[in-house]
Amino acid sequence: MHERLSFHIKRDSFIHNLNPLTKLVLTLTLILIAFTFPWYWTPHLLVLVAIIPLSLLGKVFREFSVTALRLILPAAGFLFLMQAFFQPVGSDVIFKFYFLDVTQESLMFAFRNAMRVFVMVSAFTLFLVTTHPSELMSDLTRRGLPGQFSYVIISTLQILPQIIAKSQTIIAAQRSRGLDTESSFFKRAGSLIPLVGPLVFGSLMEVEERAIAIEARGFTSKQTKTSLHEIPDPSFDQMLRWVLVALIILSIALNLWLS
Amino acid sequence: MAFVNLQNVTYKYPLTKAPVLQNVNLQVDEGEFVSIVGPNGAGKSTLCYALAGFVPHFFKGEISGSIEVDGKESSKSTLDEWVLNVGLAFQNPFNQISGAKYTVFEEIAFGLENIGVPREEMKSRVEDAMALTGIRDLADRSPYSLSGGQQQRVALTSILVMRPKLLVLDEPTSQMDPIGTREVFGTIRKMAEEGMTVVLVEHKMEWIAKFADRVIALKDGSVLLEGKPNEVLTSDLLVENGFGISRYTSTAREAKKQGIWKKESLPVTLDEAAEGFTK
Ligand SMILES: Nc1ncnc2c1ncn2[C@@H]1O[C@H](COP(=O)(O)OP(=O)(O)OP(=O)(O)O)[C@@H](O)[C@H]1O
Ligand SMILES: [Mg+2]
């Protein structure tokens, strides 16, 4: 059976114990400041004073660095190259690569954008790694997010790996009946059509049964829902959130004022 | 008045031409354990849906007659109110996992969260229900990592924890081994003794004979026969109508034709067969 789709790493750390909403706000703050604060070196500095310390504080530095080096950095690097070469700004050409001019401005521009993306993806990664999805959803539901909404999010995360497993079963079954899965791309794409029927139709039947099952367990009850886990929201968290919101507003205001 | 009372219920799914249930009359007393048997397509699952309110509230279609549970009429109620009194568990356990929870404990608590049970009460109810069905040791596992039989126990527990007055079970042990089946039947029997009314669809005749109070044989959407388990399950009518019967019943039937089985009544269980053959 496949693992469920979740990035959460269970640890006992200061970050893990923050209220999920606080972490969500913190994530958004980092991203918005990286993108709006009107000082060139903002995203670079954020990596040093926020992203790395937070990963240490959350006791996930090792896992985070692996992800950062393997996935986030290459993606940001690619973005950097694309923008450095194809961004037609500036006149101060540093070097020529065939017909492509690389200017001082385009380099600077690309560097900042790559760092912004790095901050954004890193912040989200840290958020996902330190927050249990069902805690996040219980907390948001308690704050008034419709129960159906959080159900859709969580069940998609859970059921997706099951659907992938099932499609593999169907592929194996069809292959044993002669389905071509190894020749050219277009041939394969065409021969996958028989897979769609069982997968979609099977899923529809399942959706109906699952709807009955959760309905039988009072899912559409008009009662105010309660929650098994208590998710603490101490005054420290509430204060921290206000400070973060203030920082966001400040950053955006400065951005508008200076432009 | 009976606790469960179906009067002339006739029902047709939106897409079926002929009615799937035809003039079904069914009375079940409070605390009674009734089992429904019938060949594939007889309408057993549809009858379960009708008891649990999903027919017609979820499936729509045309319905006539009346369905009453605990003095309340299904057509005058809404589904979310109805499920507070009537619990339903069905065959495929995988599709009964909510998908919203990461552990078995949370999964079982899901229904109680939905109906707003306070946290402390919720925890003790989940503990009690898990003890009842013998799945305490699964509490921290992911529901998706369980075997089919274990998932079926979780599905059953998830309904039991809501303490319905009427428990409707549609083949709840189809993926369980004999030991698991016996335990679950024992649990269901106990619930009935404590006053829960149970309607159970099953193919395992021997277990029905051992545990149920009454059996209803359904064929083509109508009640063919009803009565004491041994009377119904050994009736010639079942064989004539293509029902599956217990292997002990069919063995003794043959033996009776050849004069080896001396007793008047036929057996359903191994014990009864052994007793009859050694006499
Ligand atoms: N959702 C549906 N829409 C249309 N027709 C249905 C639906 N569900 C069941 N039927 C039809 O209703 C009839 C009775 O089905 P039902 O599932 O109640 O039988 P069953 O006695 O439970 O059979 P089994 O032993 O196979 O579980 C069948 O002919 C079936 O094809
Ligand atoms: Mg059925």
Q: Residue B105's closest chain A neighbor by CA?
A: A228
Mean pLDDT of B238-255: 91
Q: What is the pLDDT of residue A56?
A: 96
The mean pLDDT of chain B is: 94
Could you report the per-residue pLDDT of A3-55, keeping only the tens digit for each? 455 678 889 999 999 999 999 999 999 999 999 999 999 999 999 999 999 99
Pairwise CA distance, residues B138 & B130, whole Å:
9
CB A80 within 8 A of CB A114: yes
Backbone angles phi, psi at B22, to 5 degrees: -130, 115
Residues in chain B: 279
On chain B, the residues whose CB falls within 8 A of the CB of A216 are 52, 54, 83, 87-89, 159
Mean pLDDT of B253-271: 90
Mean pLDDT of A151-157: 80
Could you report the per-residue pLDDT of B207-223, keeping only the tens digit for each? 999 999 999 999 999 99
Ligand 2 geometric centre to CA of B30 (Å): 24
Angle (nearest 5°) at CA A7 between A77 and A200:
100
Report the percent of chain B where pLDDT is more than 90.
Answer: 86
Q: Who among A158, A218, A227 is closest to B84 (CB)?
A: A218
Q: What is the pLDDT of residue A2?
A: 40
Q: What is the pLDDT of residue B99?
A: 84
- A88 pLDDT exceeds 80? no
* Architecture in CATH for domain B95-163: Orthogonal Bundle (1.10)
On chain A, the residues whose CB falls within 8 A of the CB of B14 are none
Tell if the CB–CB gap between A155 and B144 is shorter than 8 Å.
no
Mention every residue, 6+ apart, whose C-beta is less than 8 A from residue B211: B33, B185, B186, B188, B189
* Architecture in CATH for domain B1-85+165-177+194-230: 3-Layer(aba) Sandwich (3.40)
Ligand 1: residues with CB < 6 A are: B 13, 15-16, 20, 38, 40-46, 59
Q: What is the pLDDT of residue A181?
A: 63
Positive or negative, the CA dihedral B264, B266, B269, B273 is positive
Pairwise CA distance, residues B130 & A148, whole Å:
27
Torsion of CA B88, B89, B91, B92, to 10 degrees: 110
Q: At B67, which helix (H) or strand (E)?
A: strand B62-69
CA-nearest of A246, A230, A239 to A22 is A239
Residues of chain B with CATH 1.10.8: 95-163
What is the residue with the minimal CA distance to atom 26 of ligand 1? B40
- B23 pLDDT exceeds 90? yes
- Give me the residue label for tokens 């009955």: A212
Mean pLDDT of B42-64: 95
Q: What is the pLDDT of residue A224?
A: 86
Mutant choice from B102, B161, B167 vs A, greatest count of A C-beta within 10 A: B102
Q: What is the pLDDT of residue A180?
A: 66
Ligand 2 geometric centre to CA of A136 (Å): 38
β-pairing, B62-69 with B72-73?
antiparallel
- A128 pLDDT exceeds 50? yes
pLDDT confidence band for B183 (50 / 70 / 90): very high
CA-nearest of A151, A108, A192, A211 to B79 is A211
β-pairing, B33-37 with B21-28?
unpaired
- Structure token pair of residue B58: 């979820």
Q: What is the pLDDT of residue A151?
A: 85
Could you report the per-residue pLDDT of A208-230, keeping only the tens digit for each? 888 999 999 999 998 888 889 88
What number of other Cβ atoms are within 10 A of residue B25's Cβ?
13
Q: What is the pLDDT of residue A49?
A: 96
CA-nearest of B147, B148, B154 to B103 is B154
CA-nearest of B2, B3, B50 to B22 is B50
What is the residue with the minimal CA distance to atom 8 of ligand 1? B46
- Could you tell me the pTM of the whole model? 0.82
Q: Residue B52's closest chain A neighbor by CA?
A: A216
Q: What is the pLDDT of residue A1?
A: 37
What is the residue with the minimal CA distance to atom 13 of ligand 1? B41
- B179 pLDDT exceeds 50? yes
Size of interface A-B (CB pairs under 8 A): 118
Interface check for B128 against chain A (CB to CB < 8 A): the answer is: no
Most confident range, picked from A83-92, A121-130, A180-189:
A121-130
Q: What is the pLDDT of residue B279?
A: 73
Q: Who among A4, A215, A226 is closest to B142 (CB)?
A: A4
- Structure token pair of residue A150: 């959080």
ipTM (interface pTM): 0.90
Q: What is the pLDDT of residue A186?
A: 74
β-pairing, B62-69 with B222-227?
unpaired
Listed in sequence order, the DSSP H helices in B59-118 are 79-85, 104-114
Tell if the CB–CB gap between B113 and A225 is shorter than 8 Å.
yes
- A119 pLDDT exceeds 50? yes
State the greatest distance between any 2 C-alpha atoms of chain B, in Å, as a whole number: 64
**Hey, which of B16, B22, B37, B49 would you mutate to test ligand 1's pocket, going by the most ligand atoms within 8 Å of its Cβ?**
B16
CB B43 within 8 A of CB B221: yes
Pairwise CA distance, residues B205 & A42, whole Å:
74
pLDDT confidence band for B47 (50 / 70 / 90): very high
